Amino acid sequence: MRLEAEARRLDAGDPGHRELFLVPPAEGGDYPETAYLAGNSLGLQPRAVRGELLQELDAWARLGVEGHLEAERPWLPYHELLREPAARLVGALPAETVVMNSLTVNLHLLMVSFYRPEGARTLIVVEDTAFPSDSYAVRSQAAFHGLDPDETVVRTNDPLAAIREHGDRVALVLLGGVNYLTGELMDIPGITAAGHSAGAVVGWDLAHAAGNVPLRLHEWGVDFAAWCSYKYLNSGPGAVAGAFVHERHAGGDRPRFEGWWSTEAATRFEMAPVSRPPRSADAWQVSNPPILAMSPVRTSLELFDTIGMPALRARSERLTAYLQSLLDPIGVEVVTPRDPARRGCQLSLRVADAGGLSKSLRHRHGVIADSREPDIVRLAPVPLYSTYHDCWRAAAAIAHEVGGIMGSVWKACGRSEAEGA
Ligand SMILES: *Cc1c(COP(=O)(O)O)cnc(C)c1O
């Protein structure tokens, strides 16, 4: 029997950091705020973002171009402020990370360097359920090299087997660290090592991993990685993304696409015809960074830095286990691995009408989940701001909408106790 009062008790003992965020009002149901379980799609706005963004607007108003050097946080070296917190977030050395562009753009810039098909070694291994953008990106990279994407991109649900099978024909392994659809956390160190044994380059898309699970990219020897900042990193729609290049590739002779931000900062205004790239991930930058978009990333990374991934991961495991324990008795199918070591905070449910269910959850219950057609609904209790009560509301709403007989029993138990509490 699962009870609303129990959720409230758990929240009192394990409160998280909801007060630092703006939670949207509910459109339906019995509570003023939404139970927001879509932080895997777009994280909520930290309260501190508005003030810090206004500071940059004020600096621009007050200083104009002089803000590059004289703003409280000068714009010229602004991206350097983000380097260390981003590095700590993904387990990298500071020189291995850079915040720039958007995710798919970064994947392309990195593949320019790290996808170098040669002779029979041309294949790109991706997961069967690759996010469409990643799929289009690798296919277009194959085509860019004059290869047939259908013959070059290998889609698999068993990357280790695919690496074994194709061996020295694999040029690049590019996988999601946490799969966007199923929420499965991949064995990043194991697959990276297997790819390297086959002589391939191994890159990771960490869109659903950064800020969700602990990462040690440097130690794992990952060649390159990229992630977005608007999902678990709460930096706003379309926020500036991150990139990682292992230090062993710094200053190497792989080709890169360059611009004036690819050269050593001290040489940037020499306006010399030939760049002198730094021996760091900064060499992959192209343009001067969008300060108004970087500001929320800085604010958000500071939160992660202050609270720390170990504490967030621990609370994440507790919240997600709790949500799973509420869903089990409803009898709804959870496709995400049960083992906490093989998942982040997201649970993906297989249901008959995913779109219909997520609409009902929102409009009838004030629960924000999201759906991936045709049959997956994703629920992500985010350790920074989600609560046990959010999980309880989601489970109660799902029981109400799809639970059938089990759901009615479940709901009756929760309801009567809640009314008595
Ligand atoms: C969210 C997501 C993207 C989005 O790409 P953008 O370039 O940020 O628009 C790409 N790949 C994966 C795996 C994602 O989860």
Using the predicted structure, report yes or no on whether residue 418 has a pLDDT greater than 70.
no
The mean per-residue pLDDT over the stretch 203-208 comes to: 98
- Write the residue with the smallest CA distance to atom 14 of ligand 1: 207
Atom of ligand 1 lying closest to residue 228 CA: 8
Measured in Å, residue 65 CA sits from the centre of ligand 1 at 33
Ligand 1 mutation pick, 107, 212, 228, max ligand atoms within 8 A of CB: 228
Measured in Å, residue 359 CA sits from the centre of ligand 1 at 23
Residue 304 C-alpha from the chain's centroid: 13
Q: How confident is the model at residue 279 (pLDDT cuts 50, 70, 90)?
A: very high
Residue 3: CB partners within 8 Å, gap ≥ 6? 413, 414, 417, 418, 421
Residue ranges and CATH numbers for the domains of the chain are 4-40+308-420 (3.90.1150.10), 51-306 (3.40.640.10)
- Write the residue with the smallest CA distance to atom 8 of ligand 1: 103
Atom of ligand 1 lying closest to residue 205 CA: 13
Lowest mean pLDDT among 315-319, 354-358, 399-403, 407-411: 407-411
Q: How many CB atoms lie within 10 A of CB 393?
A: 26
Q: Is the pTM of this model over 0.85?
A: yes
Atom of ligand 1 lying closest to residue 180 CA: 15
pLDDT tens across 2-15, in order?
A: 589 999 999 999 99
For position 406, what pLDDT does the model report?
A: 55
Measured in Å, residue 207 CA sits from the centre of ligand 1 at 6
For position 1, what pLDDT does the model report?
A: 40
pLDDT tens across 325-374, in order?
A: 999 999 999 999 999 999 999 999 999 999 999 999 999 999 999 999 89
Q: How many CB atoms lie within 10 A of CB 280?
A: 20
Say if CB 173 and CB 163 are below 8 A apart: yes
Q: What CA dihedral angle connects 327, 156, 175 and 376, to 10 degrees?
A: -30
Using the predicted structure, report yes or no on whether residue 217 has a pLDDT greater than 60.
yes
Tokens 């996988």 locate to: 175
